[in-house]
Structures are given as C-alpha cells and as structure tokens.
Amino acid sequence: MKKTAILVDGAFYRKRAFYLRGDKSPIDRANELYAYCMTHIRDEGKDNDHREERELYRIFYYDCPPLKKTVYHPALKRGIDFGKSDTYRWANAFFEELKKKRKVALRMGRLSDAGAHFALSADATKALCRKERNVDDLKESDFTISFNQKGVDMRIGLDIASLAYKKQVDQIILLAGDSDFVPAAKLARREGIDFILDPMEATIPKDLFEHIDGLKSCWKKREHKKIIVPIEKQN
C-alpha cells in the first residue's frame, strides 16, 4: 500500500473548481475539495485500468489570506474596500472549514498587496487598441483586481523536498496547472517518489510529461446542470 501525500495549489483549485462545478458556499467547497482528494486515495477516478491501494499521509493546502486593503477602481472612480467584500468573508470561512478536516494542513503564504491594482482586461484592451471602444465606455466589469502571491510556490517546493528526503511518503499527488513545480518534482523522483500531476482537466505543456510519473484528473468534464421547467397545473 502506497502512503500518499496530496498537495493542492489553492488558487488553482478554486479557479478550476469554480469553472468545472460552479459557485458554492465555503463549507460546500471545502467538502468538495476533501472528497476530491479522497477520490485519489480510493482511486475512483475515470481511469481505473491500474487501481492502486493508497493510504493518505496528509493533504497539504497552499494559499494566501484574501486581500483586505482598499484599492482605487478607475471606472467607479472610488476605492473598493476588499476587507468588507463577500470575497473576503467567503475565503476566510473556506479556510476555517478546511482547518476542521482530518489530516488537512494549511500552508499559508502572503499577499504582496502593496502593488494591488485594478488592471484592464485583455478584451477591453484589444477593443481600445482597435478603436472599437472609447475610454469613457469602460465599465466596472472591464477591470480585474491584480496582486501577487508570495511564498506559496516556495512552500510547495520545500514540502516536496522534505517529504522526499525524509521518506515520509511513497507517492505525491500535486493539484496544479503550471511548471513552477518542475525542480521539486525532479528532486522527488530522484529520491524514488512516484510523482503524479492532477491538472484538473486543464491543458498542460507536453514537455511537462518528462518530469512526472503520471497524469490523472478525477473530474471528467464540466458539469452542465439541467434546468427543469415546472409544468403548470391545469384547473
């Protein structure tokens, strides 16, 4: 039986889960994340050709506290206090729910909020450059908040190295979608760790395959909820 650690890039997971499964409450999203990870442990994904018995060592979740400062919005011409936003309350409630889960460890980085600002979206920028829109036509939805996470990738790399050197696990499953993990994955594989990447159905560069031992996502595709229209009763 393989002892398995599951490492979750939190920002990536929340973005993919929202896209694949829609908006959910903090407790439902936390339950969903835990169930998703346990699907890997039970090996109940869409590809059951090679089932393996696994024992969960721990789920490591990496993220940053939500933005709390006030940021000026160019379209609204006023500051937005993110500390009073629904997003701020949702994120904190979500983290609290994860803390209650068995064998879940939160690894929190920090936000570099000094440079936080609203950036013009790519579509709006193209429209302005093509003179299809004017600056006065810009709306609130044309801007997205931009800030940087600090310490998240470093914590992921350090934990992978620690798990590998201390021989604490036989297998690492990483939920992520970029190539920042490659140096740590190389180290883990040299130490004999079976390294699996789960990009949650996101497309990854082909050259990443040479740095992992396997690729597996447990969700098949985006869910489309059926809309049921009630039939009116006839008198």
Could you tell me if residue 143 is inside a domain?
no
6 within 8 A of 35, measured Cβ to Cβ: no
Stretches in the chain below the pLDDT threshold 70? 44-52, 220-235
Could you tell me if residue 167 is inside a domain?
yes
Q: Would you state the pLDDT for residue 51?
A: 64
Residue 215, CB half-sphere, CA atoms under 13 Å: how many? 15
Could you tell me if residue 68 is inside a domain?
yes
What whole-number distance in Å separates Cα of residue 180 and Cα of residue 162?
A: 17
Q: Any idea what the CATH number is for the domain that residue 188 is in? A: 3.40.50.1010
**Angle, nearest 10°, between helix axes 86-99 and 26-42?**
40
Measured between its terminal Cα atoms, the distance across the chain in Å is 64
Q: Would you state the pLDDT for residue 44?
A: 53
H-helix or E-strand spanning residue 58: strand 54-63
Could you tell me if residue 50 is inside a domain?
yes
Q: Would you state the pLDDT for residue 228?
A: 37
Q: Domain range holding 163?
A: 2-111+150-215
Contacts 24+ apart (CB under 8 A), 43-47: 44/218, 45/216, 45/217, 45/218, 46/217, 46/218, 46/220, 47/216
- What domain count does the chain have? 1
Could you tell me if residue 230 is inside a domain?
no
Could you tell me if residue 46 is inside a domain?
yes
Among the listed residues 55, 43, 78, 14, the one whose alpha carbon sits nearest the alpha carbon of residue 216:
43
Torsion sign across C-alpha atoms 173, 179, 180, 182: positive
What whole-number distance in Å separates Cα of residue 218 and Cα of residue 29?
A: 16
List beta partners, residue 59. 6, 104
Q: Would you state the pLDDT for residue 192?
A: 95
Could you tell me if residue 32 is inside a domain?
yes
Q: Residue 57: what residue type?
A: Y
Could you tell me if residue 229 is inside a domain?
no
